[in-house]
Chain A
């Protein structure tokens, strides 16, 4: 059974952390893109927390890619963490390295964000 997506946004200065919870699928547009569009204008670094996301299907990945494309144009730096090994491999396969970096946990992502 698909778990609906919830998004919690934590804003700290110019860094925003978008914490996703539940599956990310075609029904997650508001949770992903809607939450992204609602970020304050001063946001320059975005951390995407996938630690509570058990599954992303191709439509859900398409939403994440749209977010990455939009952030790239802004320009904003996007860092992902908490992905399962399976989806780390999927994200890598998709060639998204130009648009985001993948990190094991939040601390590593934050360190990379302020580096």
Chain B
């Protein structure tokens, strides 16, 4: 826009030698007549310039239609029109615009204000369009039209033909029909843009709602809102007719949405993308990017003391600096962290998209009339960015699925390894040991071991690590390792060895454990470290309570002795997954029900607890003296 202004200023200087005011003769008003010819213009603002008698002969001249462009501020145009002797009996009207790069103008006919478009406050913006105004009652002879025009600063160029001003004079009905036709053509011409916008809108919806189904994807939510901001900025001001709103309202609404997207939402997106890096260089990159966004936004809103070409050069320079800064950063992280840096690249493309549009319009003369005007290019840029994001998202999802499969495989391997740590049931020797282990997840925190001693005794151990998951499973490995390393036949001594091994390694948790040695003569020696006491013949064995393993170094444990009869009742050990099974009413299976079924087989006890409502690993071990 500013480049055109410079060109026009140069042209104006050349033409300024033409001093005589020329009159545009209009012949016949049955059809709207273009006010093509010499117009006058002058920078500044003075209400007297609206008066028909004002001498504008010293003003600069311009031949309309032409590109009219102006620096930020006020400018007046005047044109003298000679009306036909026999004017139509119908009321006359004036069809104005699109009036160059103007974002607001007032129209005067013979000194009388007949209408306006836009506002004259900095935030009241409109895009060039056409508007019809009724002329005062039947003018005779010469008509002097004056236009008080306001433009805003912009770092970007409006295509020449969009900026070209052509006004028409005719009957009011005729110009209104012309206005409707113009809008209809414009709407039709924007169909492509509308379709592209619809695609972007769907992508926006997708990105915004993605975090609802995929955790850890907040950056896509902010990207979606960012797209929405850009979409609103581009679409809403273009379709005031469709929205049934005043142009000023739609322009302001578009700007408000854009400000939200660019200034309010953009930082959240940057934080998501950069803050996770926790690097100074990442934050510097975010700051630079945000500064660029704010600068571009400010240049649209406020009168910059810098010439427009300087602003463009600065923005272009910042983009180049960004590229130089960005790629080593992206290269490094793309090999470490996957696709997020590629999102930076997409955003960068988005940031520089306006510059690309500028060059496309400026140097390749792509225009709206060719179906590829600036608005279409902007929408295409958005569409490309959206598709790029969709591709990245797809690749990221594929990578996450692969990662999930890998973790699943590792969990399965851990589960397999853990199963090797559990002893198999055995019926040989003096005792038959049966065991059922039902983990609540892939890997559990329960364990049991059956270890034969040289003396002929058999050590039966059941334990439970506080907590769940891999951490608990790792602690199981430590506990089982310590148990197998313990050489003593004394259950209390074995627990003491395990306690020493676990202290300082339990991470604030603990391990409950019940260790029973069954001797060939039927005697069972029980030591308990905070575990549920075993049941014998339907009764709870009275064991001395002891601290769980892994809490207090040097903890000591006592032993309790019971006798198992040949072919008699079993000694039943289990984990708290049985007594703390919980049903839908949050009622625990409890000690009483556990006692009631303690004479059943390990499988029946475990299934009963599971049916009640499993929420933890369930382990049941029965030790029965063979007849």
A residues with CB within 8 A of B: 26, 54-55, 57-59, 61-63, 65-66, 69, 86, 89-90, 92-98
Contacts and interface: CB of A to CB of B under 8 A. Distances in A.
Nearest to A91: B545
Contacts, number: 62
A66 B530 contact: no
A98 B588 CA distance: 27
Given A55-B586, A58-B466, A65 B548 contact: yes
A62 B530 contact: no
Interface stretch (B207-215, B229-237, B505-513, B606-614): B505-513
B532 interface: yes
Contact of A95 (B465, B468, B530, B532): B530
A110 B576 CA distance: 31
A95 B547 contact: yes
Given A66-B508, A69-B552, A59 B547 contact: no
26 contacts: A54-B586, A57-B580, A57-B616, A58-B510, A59-B466, A59-B468, A61-B466, A62-B509, A63-B508, A65-B551, A66-B508, A86-B588, A90-B576, A93-B528, A93-B530, A93-B531, A93-B532, A93-B533, A94-B512, A94-B545, A94-B548, A95-B529, A95-B545, A95-B546, A95-B548, A98-B547
Contacts of A57: 580, 616
A65 B508 CA distance: 9
B29 to A, nearest CB: 79
B467 A62 contact: yes
B531 A62 contact: no
A80 B340 CA distance: 51
B368 interface: no
Nearest to A60: B466
A58 B464 contact: yes
Given A54-B586, A86-B591, A89-B591, 12 more contacts: A57-B616, A58-B464, A58-B616, A59-B509, A62-B466, A65-B510, A86-B590, A93-B533, A94-B512, A94-B547, A95-B548, A98-B547
Contacts of B466: 58-59, 61-62
B576 A58 contact: yes
Nearest to B588: A86
Contacts of A66: 508
Please list the 7 inter-chain residue pairs (A to B) with the smallest Cβ-Cβ separation, ordered nearest first: A95-B545, A58-B466, A94-B530, A62-B466, A95-B547, A59-B467, A95-B546
A71 to B, nearest CB: 14
Contacts of A98: 547
Interface in B563-584: 576, 579-580, 582
A62 B532 contact: no
A14 B144 CA distance: 94
A67 to B, nearest CB: 11
Contacts of A61: 466
Interface in B524-574: 528-533, 544-548, 551-552
Contacts of B552: 69
B507 to A, nearest CB: 9
Interface in B63-87: none
Nearest to A63: B508
A92 B591 contact: no
Q: Which size class do B's interface residues fall under?
A: 20 to 34
Nearest to B528: A93
A35 B264 CA distance: 37
Of A26, A89, A93, most B-chain CB atoms within 10 Å = A93
Nearest to B445: A58
Contacts of B531: 93
Nearest to A72: B552
Contacts of A97: 545
A87 to B, nearest CB: 10
B530 to A, nearest CB: 4
A62 B510 contact: yes
Interface in B132-183: none
A94 B528 CA distance: 9
A59 B531 CA distance: 14
A59 B468 CA distance: 9
A59 B466 CA distance: 5
Contacts of A59: 466-468, 509
Nearest to A33: B508
Contacts of B582: 55
Nearest to A25: B467
A57 B533 CA distance: 18
B492 to A, nearest CB: 13
Interface in B458-475: 464-468
A65 B464 CA distance: 16
A96 B512 CA distance: 13
Nearest to B591: A89
A92 B532 CA distance: 10
A98 B580 CA distance: 25
A58 B467 contact: yes
Contacts of A92: 545
Contacts of A54: 586
Contacts of A69: 551-552
Contacts of B445: 58
A90 B548 CA distance: 12
Contacts of A86: 579, 588, 590-591
A62 B467 CA distance: 9
Interface string B490-524: 00000000000000000011101000000000000
Contacts of B551: 65, 69
A44 B300 CA distance: 66
Contacts of A62: 466-467, 508-510
Nearest to B575: A58
A95 B48 CA distance: 100
Contacts of B547: 94-96, 98
A29 B547 CA distance: 21
A97 B545 CA distance: 9
A66 B550 CA distance: 11
A114 to B, nearest CB: 27
Contact of A26 (B467, B532, B616): B467
Nearest to A69: B551
A91 to B, nearest CB: 9
Contacts of A65: 510, 548, 551
Contacts of B591: 86, 89
A96 B548 CA distance: 9
Contacts of B512: 58, 94
